[in-house]
Chain A
């Protein structure tokens, strides 16, 4: 089992839709988690961090379920500009990234 696993997608959704991604992790000692957004082969950029049960920023909500060892990212009212790959990451110095989930938002 990979240390961090994501559904690769792609997720194809219409504008205005709500979409959710999950990310499972195997190291129960992980303290913090991050969602990064990556546009086509450009550098990843931080979208949200998750330290406790969850975090919300506008249309984006991240939740952490320690018992089941997964974090989720919910995007409400999807925009065309949300089309990207979303990477899940466990924090720490020896950090692990998931392979990413691709999202396409269509008009």
Chain B
């Protein structure tokens, strides 16, 4: 199976900050990398697909980049509603796998 490793596992930041979360795949996955946001007690929400395409309705302060094995999710100016847990996920292999998650907390 393809292993997905996210860093950091947790992050403290303030409203207005720019934050970046990294995801690394154990082998090349081309651009088959997706990002989700999850809030407590809720299902995950798709933010970015295909490494850099913004899902409809997702604010443009959220962006993704990368290809091959290294990917990043960037939030350019944190808003209160952005504090949540973020997961990367590969869809290159039919055996989907997720990163372990990054918990974004208010400083």
Are A and B a genuine interacting pair, yes or no?
no
Q: Taking beta carbons and an 8 Å cutoff, which residues of A are in contact with B?
A: none
